[in-house]
Amino acid sequence: MIELEGGHIVRLKHDPDDDDLRAGDCGIVWGVYDFQPVIYEATFLNRQQQKVDLMFAESEVELLENFDDTPFPEHLREMRQTLADANEALREHPEVTECSVADLRNAVAFAQGILSQTEH
């Protein structure tokens, strides 16, 4: 067991059911759901550099040690920094104690929108 955590870099071992992703696509873990077995969620970059969210089991990915093992290291670094910034903002606002997955997805989409504007 590799026990993934938020911010880990992962690579898909096999083609998932999602038509937008293929084996070898890499992403950043941002969701860890305490089910049996544990389910994870990450934002992956496909070969067209599109961001695609996917839920998966630990056995479906391999953990990568560094960004140099990925096809788009700079984009993944930016994604992980966005996640770290969001986590820091939550720590600075302890009054925020609960949010839904939809709220998290909206926050991630908002952050990704800001990133895409700065890329132009």
pLDDT tens digit sequence for 3-36:
899 899 999 999 999 889 999 999 999 989 988 8
- β-strand partners of 10: 27, 63
Q: What is the pTM of this model?
A: 0.75
pLDDT tens digit sequence for 51-69:
999 999 999 999 999 999 9
Query: pLDDT confidence of 84, banded at 50, 70, 90?
Result: confident
CA 34 to CA 49: how far, in whole Å? 30
Q: What is the DSSP string of 41-88?
A: EEEEE-TT--EEEEEEEGGGEEEESSGGGSS-HHHHHHHHHHHHHHHH
